Amino acid sequence: MDNVEKRIKELTELLDYHSKKYYVDDAPEISDFEYDKMLRELENLENEYPQYISPLSPTQRVGGKALDKFESVTHTVVMESLQDAFSEAEIYDFDRKVREKISDYTYVVEHKIDGLSVSLEYVNGDFVRGSTRGDGVIGEDVTQNLKTVKSIPLYLTENIPFLEVRGEVYIPRETFKKINEQREELEEPTFANPRNAAAGSLRQLDPKIAAKRGMQIFVFNIQQIEGKEITTHIEGLRYLRKLGFTTILNDDVFSEINSAFTRVKEIGEDRGNLPFDIDGAVIKVNELSKRQELGSTSKFPRWAIAYKYPPEQKETKILDILVQVGRTGVLTPLAVLEPVRVAGTLVSRATLHNQDYIDEKDIKIGDTVIIQKAGDIIPEILEVKKEKRIGREKSFKIPDKCPVCNGNVVREDGESAYRCTSSVCPAQIKRNIIHFVSRDAMDIDGLGPAVISQLLDNNLIKSAADLYYLKAEQIEPLEKMGKKSAENLINAINNSKNNPLSRLITALGIRFVGSKASKVIAKSLKSLDSLMSASRERLTEIEDVGETMADSIISYFKEPHNVDFVEKLRNCGVNFEENDGEVTDNRFNGLTFVLTGTLSSYTRDEASEIIENFGGKTASSVSKKTSYVLAGKDAGSKLDKAISLGVSVISEDEFKSMIL
C-alpha cells in the first residue's frame, strides 16, 4: 500500500469515527472546523487519485445514520448537505461555475445555524409529521418532540393542501448556559455545545424532557408545496413568515458575488453578538428555476455553498486558580483569566477539570495561554505558551483541606477526582438538596434549583429534611411564587412522603448507589432501618452490590450528621418501608430482561417496573445470561446480538401474555 492509499484509508477511518460520534452518539470529540479540514484533505486526495475512491468513502454520502429508537422516515425530497468553503477564493470559484451555467440570477445570504436539520410536513394546514435529516434520505420520526418546540406552528394561517419545509432546530445560548448550569448542579455530564444539546433533546423518547430544553427553530427552505406557486427563495421565505414560521434572519438580495461575500464577512464579524450559534454563512441562488438548471452533484446542490468560520482563538494570562466544591464533594479547579473577548463575549474563567489535566498540560499560575470556546460557548485552554514564562509562574496542586469547610480532602485509588470528606460541607448542601428532589429520587415537582436557592438564602431550610417542615405561608412571599404555587409545592412535598423506599435510598445520595441499585436493595432489605444496620457481609449478598458499594453504605450511616438527617425524615413521616404494591408473585424471579425498540403499550420505564414488580430484573446489554429480549418496533443491534447468542426473543404481545 503506497503512502497516498494509506492516507486515504486513515482519513476515511477517522472521519467515519468522528461522524458517528457527532451524528449518532451526539458526543463530538473534535470541532466542526477540524472535521471539515480532514474531509477537504480526503476530497483533494480522491480528486487527484480517483482510483482510490471507495463507494463507502465519507465523501460519497450525506450525514449520519438514523437511530433505531424512532420510526424511520424516507424523505421524498433528499435533504442535501452543502458544499463547504474555507477561503474567499473558493467562494469566487463557486460563482464562476454558476456563471458558466446560468445567467440573470441573484444571490441570498443566510446565517448557517449550528443545530439539527429537520423536515416539517403539513396537510391542509395541520402539522402532521416532523423528522430528522438522518443520512439525507432516511431520517427519524420525532414528531412528538418537535411539537414541544414553541416556534413550530401546529396550525398554519392558510389551509394549504400540502407543505414540507426544512429548518434548523437549535438551543439559544442563554438557554444552553442555564441547561449546563443545572446539569453541573446535579453533577450530570454537561453538553459540549448547543448543537449537541439540541440533537440529544430531539432524540429523547420522553417528550417531557425535550420540552424542558427550550429548543427553537429557524425555517430556511420549502422542500415541497401544493396549492401555491413560488418562484424565488425570498418569495418563499416571505410566504413562510405569513404562514406563521420563524424564518432565517433577513431576505436581502445581492446581484453579484462581491456584495454577497461582503455580507458573509459582516455576519462573521457579528456572530459573537448573536443569541444563537452559527458555524458559517450560506450563499444561495435566489431563483428556483435557476436552481433546477444548476442541479446537484451526488453530494450537494450546485446552487449553494457554505462559508465556514474558523473558531476564534485568543491569548490571555492565568491570574489565579480557584477551587469549586460539588455535590459529592469533588473539588474542581477553575482558572481565573485576564479578561479577553472571545466569540463575542468577555471570558474571565475556564475550567481545568482536575489535577491530571493540569499536570498533563503543565499549567501554572501566571502562564500565558491560548484559549477558545468549545462550540463557541465553553471556554477551554488549548495550549500553554511556555516560551513566554519568566520564572515567576507558580505550580498548582489541589489542596488537602476543603477551601469551603476545611474538611479533609482525599483522592481514592483509580479516580482522578479529589473529594472533601466532610458531610456538613456548606458547598455540598444545595447540590445535595437538588439531587434529593430530582426525578429519579423523591421527584418533587416545582422544586427547581432557583426555588431551592431562595429557600436557602432566606434561611428557610438547611438540609433536604427541612423541606418537610415548611409551611405554605413561608414560601408564598418568595419570588415567582404566590399563594397557589406555594400550596402546590407543599402538596408535592407532602405527597413525596409516600414514595417507595427505593426512591428514598436514591435521594440520600450515597456514593455508588444509583436508582437501579436502590431498587434491588429496597426489595432485599425491605426497610431503611435494615439498610442502616446491615453488615458488609449482608450487603454483599445482595445482587449487584459489590464491596465498594457496601463500604460506601456503611460509611454513610456511620456519620452522625447523616443519622440525624435520617431521623429528621422519620419524624416527619417519610416512608421507610418497602411497599411491594399489588403484585405479590415472583414469576420473573431469577430472570433478566433486556428491552430494545419502541413499545406501543408501555414506556421502557413502565415495562421495567412491571418486570421488577414480578421479581425480575432488567439489564442494558445482551449477554448469555440474558433470559429474554423484549423487542419492540425497529429493534436494533440488541436484537441481532440476542439472535446470535440464542437468547429468547419475545414480542410485546408475548410479554403481555406473560404478565396476565
Condensed to tens digits (0 to 9), the pLDDT of residues 396-455 reads: 999 999 998 888 898 877 778 898 877 668 777 887 898 899 988 999 988 988 899 899
Rounded to whole angstroms, the Cα distance separating 17 from 28 reads: 10
pLDDT at 85 (0 to 100): 94
With H, G, I as helix, E, B as strand and everything else as coil, classify residue 280.
strand
pLDDT reported for residue 55? 67
Sheet holding 592-596, edge to edge: 617-619, 592-596, 628-631, 648-650
CB atoms closer than 10 angstroms to residue 567: 11
Instruction: Read off the DSSP letter of residue 215.
Output: -
The pLDDT of residue 24 is 47
Residue bearing the bigger pLDDT, 112 or 47: 112
Q: Report DSSP state, residue 365.
A: B
- Active-site residue flag, 397: no
Of these ranges, 368-377, 385-394, 622-631, the one predicted with the greatest mean pLDDT is: 385-394
Q: Is 568 exposed, middle or buried (0-12, 13-18, 19+ CB in 10 A)?
A: middle
What span, in angstroms and rounded, lies between the C-alpha atoms of 341 and 271?
13
- Amino acid identity of 185? E
**What Cα–Cα distance (Å) separates residue 555 from each residue in 559, 596, 657?**
7, 37, 45
Strands 126-132 and 84-85 come out as unpaired
Buried b or exposed e, range 594-621, using 16+ CB within 10 angstroms: bbbbbbeebebeebbebbbbbbbbbeee
**Site of grid cell 476530497:** 43
Q: Which residue has the cell 458573509?
A: 264
Element (H, E) at 360: helix 355-361
pLDDT the model gives residue 446: 87
Mean pLDDT over 34-42 rounds to 84
pLDDT (average), residues 237-255 = 89
Say if residues 330 and 418 touch (Cβ distance below 8 Å).
yes
Residue 61: partners with Cβ closer than 8 Å, 6 or more residues away = 135, 136, 299
- Whole-model pTM: value is 0.56
pLDDT digits (tens, 9 = 90+) for 516-556: 889 889 989 999 999 999 999 999 999 889 898 999 899 88
pLDDT at 62: 55
- Report the alpha-carbon distance of residue 460 to residue 473 in Å, rounded: 12
Answer yes or no: is pLDDT of 583 > 70.
no
pLDDT tops 60 at residue 603: yes
Question: d(Cα 531, Cα 252) in Å, to the nearest integer?
Answer: 68
pLDDT reported for residue 88 = 94
Question: CA-CA distance, 518 to 531, in Å (whole number)?
Answer: 11
Would you place residue 161 in the very low, low, confident or very high pLDDT band (cuts 50, 70, 90)?
very high
- Convert the pLDDT of each residue in 480-496 to its tens digit: 788 888 999 999 999 99
> Is the pLDDT score of 395 beyond 50?
yes
Question: Is the model more confident about 349 or about 21?
Answer: 349
Rounded to an integer, the average pLDDT of 201-219 is 84
Minimum mean pLDDT range among 252-261, 391-400, 415-424:
415-424
Q: What is the predicted pLDDT for the residue at 485? A: 87
Tens digits of per-residue pLDDT, 73-91?
A: 999 999 999 999 999 999 9
The pLDDT assigned to 2 comes to: 79
The mean pLDDT value of the chain amounts to 87
> Which of 20, 37, 69, 112 does the annotation list as catalytic?
112
Which range, 48-52, 119-123, 415-419, 556-560, is most confident? 119-123
Count other Cβ atoms within 10 Å, centred on residue 115.
25
Interatomic CA distance for residues 658 and 660, integer angstroms = 6
pLDDT at 582 over 50: no
Q: Does 327 score more than 90 pLDDT?
A: no
| pLDDT mean over 150-173 | 92
What is the CB neighbour count within 10 angstroms for residue 255?
11
What was the pLDDT predicted at 333?
A: 94
pLDDT of 22 > 80? The answer is no
pLDDT for res 584: 58
Q: Residue 620 pLDDT more than 80?
A: no
Half-sphere exposure of 381 (CA within 13 A, CB side): 28
Could you tell me the pLDDT band of residue 25, with boundaries at 50, 70 and 90?
low
358-361 own/partner pairs: CB under 8 Å, 24+ apart:
358/321, 358/333, 358/396
pLDDT value at position 394?
Answer: 96
pLDDT recorded at residue 67: 47
Least confident interval from 164-173, 370-379, 506-515, 591-600: 370-379
| β-pair partners for 224 | 164
Residue 66 has pLDDT above 60, yes or no: no
Helix, strand, coil abundance in the chain, percent, nearest 5: 40, 20, 40
